[in-house]
Amino acid sequence: MTDSERIKQLEQELAQYKLNGAIGLYYELNRFVNDTVSILREKGVKSLFAKDDDDPKKFERMMALIKNAKEHIVDMEEIKAKLGLTGDEEKDRIKKPFIDRIAEKRD
């Protein structure tokens, strides 16, 4: 790895630490819920009841995913309201934190 590649990698890692964790959590939960919905659509409800010797716990795992997705939606609504998120991830990630908007600059 060259020095410039290493620098670029370290800059990307540093940028991750600068992100607002709550905003990141909101969008990760959103991706989880969307993935769960995609799996449900792909598999269909009928497949959950089909006899499947390769995966005897399929129904239980799918129900756990659904339950988790439901709980995440409630959490997401709370996070979105508290942080005033727009639903546009790029805009929300670059939004200045509240404290930075109200604090006075001191020299």
Q: For the chain, give the percent of residues with pLDDT over 70.
A: 81
What b-and-e string marks burial along 57-95, b requiring 16 or more CB atoms within 10 Å of the CB?
Answer: eeeeebeebeeebeebeeebeebbeebebeeeeeebeeb
Report residue 97 as tokens.
């934190």
Burial grade of 49 (CB within 10 A; 0-12, 13-18, 19 or more): exposed
- Looking at beta carbons, which pairs linking 89-96 to residues 24 or more positions away fall under 8 Å? 89/27, 92/23, 92/26, 92/27, 93/19, 93/20, 93/23, 93/24, 95/23
Q: Would you say residue 70 has pLDDT above 90?
A: yes
How much is the average pLDDT of 30-37? 94
Calpha distance 97→88 (Å, rounded):
16
The model carries a pTM of: 0.65
pLDDT at 19 (0 to 100): 64
Lowest pLDDT segment from 2-16, 24-38, 62-76: 2-16
How much is the average pLDDT of 14-25? 75
pLDDT at 16 (0 to 100): 65
Return the half-sphere exposure (C-beta side, CA atoms, 13 A cut-off) of residue 49.
2
24 confidence band (pLDDT: 50, 70, 90): confident
Q: Would you say residue 33 has pLDDT above 70?
A: yes
How much is the average pLDDT of 73-84? 93
